[in-house]
Structure 1
Amino acid sequence: MSIWRKVGSDFRRLTRPFPQLANMNVIWRCGNGETLCEMVLMIIFGEGKMGIMNDHYRKLERMYLSAPINSQLYKGIDITISKEAAEIALKIEPVYFHAANAIHGSVYFKLLDDAAFFAVNSIVEDVFVYTVSFNTHLLRPISKGIIKAIGQLKFKSQNLFISESTLYDDQGKVAGFGTGNFMKSKIGLTSDIGYK
C-alpha cells in the first residue's frame, strides 16, 4: 500500500466519529512524521501549541460575544479568530440605519476596528490590546444582507501592532476599509473580562 493511500485510510479511520472531516483529501505527511490526520486530531483535541492557540482564539471569541455592546446592541454578531486574522459577520437590521435607510458609519467603524483589533490580540496571549488610532474609509452604502469584516495583522513589534481590515457586503463587494495602530494594555486576559 502506498504511503498516500495509508495516510488517507488512517485519516478516514481516525475521523469516523467526526463526519465533517470524513471527505477531506489527505496527501502528505507532516515534517515530524505524523500524518496530517494525527495533526488534525491534535487540533481537535487541543494537544500541543496549536491546541493552546485554538483555546486562546475561542476564549477571545467568547470574550467578544459576551461584551455588553455585542450581547445587547449587536445581537447576532459572530466572530471567528485565527492566527493574525479575525472575521466578524453581522446581519443588517434597521436599528443600525441612519435617516437615509443605510447603516450608519459607526457600524462600519465598529466592525472594521473589531476585526483589526482581534487580528492583533490573536497573537497577544497575556493582555488585552487597545486601539491607539484607526482610520476608516466608507466606500458604499449598505442596507441589507450580512456584512463581513476581515482583519489581518500587517506589522508587529514589541510595543506596536498595525492591522488592516476590509468590510464586504453580502455580494462580496468592498464597502469600506480601515487601518489601525494597536498597543498592549496592562489589562490581563482573565475570566473577569470574559476571557474564559
Structure 2
Amino acid sequence: IDLSIVPDSRWDEKTHGTAEMFLIMFPPPTPLLELQPLPLSALHNKEFKSIYSSTIQTFNKIQTQVFQALYTSDENVFIGAPTGSGKTICTEFALLHLWSKHEQPRAVCIEPYQEMVDQHVAECRRKFSGKEIWDILFRRWRQCKNVQNIGLLIADEIQLVGGEVGPTYEVVISRTRYIAAETKVKTRIVACGVSLAFLSGLFSTD
C-alpha cells in the first residue's frame, strides 16, 4: 500500500522562509479510560491495605489507570506522568504483586541520585542500593545470589537516560536482562518518569 500525504496549503517563502521543512508526527497519547477512583479494597489484602489506610482512602486517577497492569500482571510497564502525580505508589503496586507470590524473588529500585535513594528508604523502610553500587554488584553477578534472583527492577526518573546518568542506567538494565536470560528467572521491568514523546525510541523489545 502506497500512502501519500499532501498538505492542503502551498509553501510560501515569504511566510515560511526558504528552509525545507520536515514534519515529525508523534502518535497520539494513550487515551485515559473512564474509571472511578479505586478504593483501597481493590488490593484484596488487609496487610497491603493497611500500608495506605492512614493517608488515603482511594487511589488517584493515574494510579487507577495503571492498577490492573501493575498489580495483576507480570508485564513490563512504563509510567509517564507529571511530577507529583503519585508514580511512587504506582511502582509499589508492582512490589505488592511480587510479594504476593509464593516464592518471592528480589526487587531492586535504581535512582539517578543518592538523595532520591535516601528519600525512598525513609518512605518504604527498605534497603535500596545506589546505581553505582548496583553496577559493581552486576559485574560480579555470578558470585552474588541476590543478583541472580531479581524478579522486579524499578527504574525511576527514566527520562534522565539522556543525561550524565544515562550510561549507567543503560548498563544496569541491559545486564539485568542478560542475567535474566542466563538464569531463566523472569525479571519484570517497571520504568517511570515524566511523559515522553519518543517512548518507542527509548525502549526496545530486542
Q: Identify which of structures 1 and 2 has the higher relative contact order when contacts are C-alpha pairs closer than 8 Å and 6+ apart.
A: 2
Higher strand share: 1
TM bin (shorter chain): under 0.3
TM-score by length of 1: 0.26
Larger Rg: 2
TM-score by length of 2: 0.25
